[in-house]
Amino acid sequence: MLSDYLSSYFNYLSIEKGLSKNTISAYRRDLIRFENYLIIVKKELKTLSEVDFPLYLAWLRGLNNEEFKIGESSIARNVVAIRNFYEYLAKEHGFINISTSVHPPKIPKRLPKALNLQNIDNFLKVTRTDRFALRDKALLELLYATGARVSEIINLKIDDLSKNDDFTSIRITGKGGKQRVVPVGKFAQEALDQYLSRSRPELVKVVTNKSMFLNNKGGALTRQSAWNIVVAQAKSAGIKEELSPHSLRHSFATHLLDGGADIRVVQELLGHSSVTTTQIYTLITIDKLRETYATAHPRAK
């Protein structure tokens, strides 16, 4: 059974590969989906051959499977999960790696969507006065001020915040444990000061808890709870655009480049290992330049 190898595999990913909890959770979901497929078609892991993988991909696309059909980007991640799993099986358990011929589908690059400045201003106006208002204000301001991922923000500790004269920065731990230091602007700094001095002391239950953002029980805020705060605030601000967990991150990068920031600086602030990843944001600004030129220049048309 495939499940016989999963426990040791996930330990391997965590200890030897150093993958994050979120990545391992995604692999877990993908491999459990693969195991369910094997149960449905009544096949065993050890009897599979290369010809079985195209059948599995067809199943993921909805062939005899309307209930569990998934999109191409999710299929691509499933393929990666299976290939990595087979590499492990070959290395640790003597399996023949029959996954080498299966390749992820090519996904067309989608330009990240950024909120415009007016929407950002509306979004960051938290007008509530409940006991979580200061926390939510600080969370939202920090997401936009730093371009951090939601998962990176909720993992922040009090000690990650640093103040030196008028300069405030925050130490963010990104993918693979890689750390970066990002400046915190005036608005986010003031929101954090208000939250840490007035709201967090009322939320914390255990003095030794160093998590920066706390829930109503005094524990660390979860990723889902943080995302719910983003969605609720967007609705309150009347924002119609569809948001993703990276919307504020995309906005951060796009607005920096629009303001003339060097792409290498933006790369460092976002924690991208390659500038190629950051360059997708330059396509957005080029589109904006074309649009502005087309509408503003008297001889553009």
| CA 172 to each of CA 24, 39, 86, 192, 287: distance values in angstroms, whole numbers, following the listed order | 20, 42, 33, 15, 31
Which pLDDT tens digit goes with each residue over 142-169? 999 999 999 999 999 999 999 887 788 9
Q: Residue 252 — left, alpha, or beta (φ > 0 → left; ψ -120 to 50 → alpha)?
A: alpha
**pLDDT band for position 93 (50/70/90)?**
very high
The Cα 144–Cα 139 span in angstroms is 9
In whole numbers, what is the pLDDT of the chain averaged over residues?
89
The residues, any chain, with a CB within 8 Å of residue 89's CB and separated by 6 or more, are: 5, 95, 97
| Residue 244's pLDDT band (cuts 50, 70, 90) | confident
Q: What are phi and psi of 164, to 5 degrees?
A: -140, 105
CB 171 within 8 A of CB 158: no
Name the class of domain 118-243.
mainly alpha
Which fold would CATH assign to domain 3-93? Answer: DNA polymerase; domain 1 (1.10.150)
Residue 57 has pLDDT above 70, yes or no: yes
Categorize the per-residue pLDDT at 18 as very low, low, confident or very high, splitting at 50, 70 and 90.
Answer: confident
pTM for this model (two decimals): 0.67
Check: CB of residue 154 under 8 Å from CB of residue 230.
no
Query: Catalytic residue positions?
Result: 149, 175, 246, 249, 272, 281
Tell me which H or E stretch contains 15.
helix 3-15
CA distances, 300 to each of 280, 293, 295, 296 (Å): 26, 7, 7, 8
> How far lies 13's CA from each of 18, 68, 147, 167, 189, in Å?
6, 26, 27, 38, 37
Q: What is the average pLDDT across 162-189?
A: 90
The residues, ordered by sequence, that sit 6+ positions from 205 with a Cβ below 8 Å of its Cβ are 217, 218, 219
Angle formed at CA 163 by CA 157 and CA 164, multiple of 5 degrees:
150
Domain boundaries, the chain: 3-93, 118-243
Q: What tokens does 43 get?
A: 């096949």
Residue 98 pLDDT > 70: yes
What burial class does residue 99 get, using C-beta atoms within 10 Å of its C-beta: 0-12 exposed, 13-18 middle, 19+ buried?
A: buried
Question: What is the mean pLDDT of the segment spanning 241-253?
Answer: 88
